Structure 1
Amino acid sequence: MELVSLIIMVLGLAALVGIYVISRVSRQHSPQKRDENIPVLRDADGNELSSVCDDVAARDGKRPSANARDMSDVMMSNVSGKSKGVHQPIADAVALPPQLVLFIAADIEAGFSGEEVLRALDNAGLSFGDMDIFHRFVLSAQGETSLFSVANGVKPWTLVPEELVMQTTPGLSMILNLPSQIDDGDAINDFLLTAERLTADLNGILKDHNQQPITPALRAGLLAMAA
């Protein structure tokens, strides 16, 4: 009788161990809770950086946070000028920022699947290239060159197709350097429309450089800059 009790006890302990192991494995493979905000990056001085800043430097070599007017201020200045009937060229009305940065954030805890991201990038006509990120390539006087870039929203920022298919990401970051290799208005318009297309394809949330959702006013400001 004692032998039967001992066997039952051993089997019970084995079952508990099995349940514990299975629960740990399941927890590791289950989607981790993610904040829809793409992590804020800061340099050694505590200044906020865009997530692709280390990959795609501003043309003057400085960080966007150190040399650029707030993008929303620039856009709203353009909107304000147009509403007052000001028709002078943008260059006379307000200086364009050295960079425009947009984020596409996932609105689900699991983030975007790599396969979805690759499909969306391909549908938007973007190509994998330098720095292991995606680009909008255009023809310029210097030949084929990158107009703007799309990078991962988290370190190491890369979007290597072979790796991405097995990963997820909480978001993407996009950066456009100004002045661009083509007409700046055309570049800004393509930049915004591509961001909106990627956002729609991924069912994400389009955000500005401060990771705030793009409002109709900010969108109008971008379009005003492109006019």
Structure 2
Amino acid sequence: MDELRWILLGLGILIIAGVYGYARLQDWRRDGPPWRRRGRAQREPFAGYSEPALDDDDDDILGPARVVEPTSTPTPTPTPAPNPGDSAEPAPAAEPPSAAEPPVDELAEVRGRAVGEEKIIALSVMAPETVPYNGAGVAEVLESAGLRLTAQGVFQRTLETDDGPVALFTVANIVEPGTFDASNPGATQTPGIVLIMQLPAPFDGLAAFEMMLTTARRVAQTLGGQLLDGRRCDLTTQAIEHLREELLEYRRRARVADRRRDGAS
């Protein structure tokens, strides 16, 4: 009788161990190995990242996954003038009026600096196969997202800096030479558009990428089409997270390079 109890006890332990092992295996398949989860936890705050606002016209773009209509125009908070006796360190940015409106300083975190190796991030939006985009429709959607058609025939989202406006990202015709008719966008028919951001630049690349991603999604949702990455593959959630991870690493290396440059000067 005692031998039977020991056998049953052993079987119970084996069953419990098997259930526990199966649960851990499912966690590994879903979240990856434990030694890789730390990096994923660092990226977690950017999973729901809201695009920083450049000016009052940007209130209608509050996040990368949806578009909402503006409810009110925020009143900018004046920045107090620095005291002569204060430290030379820049004053911290004022708290945003709400969680959905990150401060402009997030985008201009490295304003005035352009440190790091060259890096290009590209996204594409392809029109449905039988319905190419009309340039007028593309212009309407992009202009509602804060972009402007330049004299060169490309759309740009710009940021004002002390040295003048700089392009956060550019939207071009996917067909060479990559331009739209600057005087009559409706004369252009295209199977798709490409959004391009180039670094180094005097702004934070990750924040600018979120704005670019929001714009690409807006075009796809409004005009129809498919989102692709720089290699013309489907822009999956994993691909987006990989790009965010790359830009976080790029930001870290740029800060290191900037500190070394300051130390050498």
Larger RCO (CA within 8 A; separation ≥ 6): 1
What is the aligned partner in structure 1 of residue 51 from structure 2?
Answer: none
Measure the CA separation in 1 of the matches of 2:167 and 2:209: 14
Q: Which runs of 5+ in 1 are unaligned?
A: 1-78, 89-94
SS at match of 2:38: coil
Measure the CA separation in 1 of the matches of 2:135 and 2:156: 17
AA in 2 matched with 1:147: L
Measure the CA separation in 2 of the matches of 1:226 and 1:81: 23
What is the aligned partner in structure 2 of residue 113 from structure 1?
Answer: 134
Asked whether the equivalents of residues 114 and 168 of structure 1 are also in contact (C-alpha less than 8 Å), the reply is yes
Measure the CA separation in 2 of the matches of 1:162 and 1:196: 26
Q: Residue 166 of structure 1: CA displacement?
A: 2.3
What is the aligned partner in structure 2 of residue 154 from structure 1?
Answer: 175
Deviations 1:122-147 (A, max 9, x none): 11110112532110110123121111
- TM-score, normalised to structure 2's length? 0.48
Q: Residue 152 of structure 1: CA displacement?
A: 0.5
- TM-score, normalised to structure 1's length? 0.55
Asked whether the equivalents of residues 178 and 184 of structure 1 are also in contact (C-alpha less than 8 Å), the reply is yes
Is 1:165 aligned to 2:118, yes or no?
Answer: no
AA in 2 matched with 1:170: P
Measure the CA separation in 2 of the matches of 1:154 and 1:132: 13
Is 1:85 aligned to 2:85, yes or no?
Answer: no
What is the aligned partner in structure 2 of residue 201 from structure 1?
Answer: 222
Give the count of matched residue pairs.
143
Cα RMSD of the aligned pairs, angstroms, is 2.8
Q: Which of 119, 135, 146 does residue 125 from structure 1 map onto?
A: 146
The range that moved more, 137-146 or 96-105, is 96-105
Moved over 4 A (4+): 79-83
Q: Closer, same or farther in 2 for the Cα pair 1:190/1:225, shift >3 Å?
A: farther
Q: Closer, same or farther in 2 for the Cα pair 1:200/1:133, shift >3 Å?
A: same
Identical counterparts, % of pairs: 26
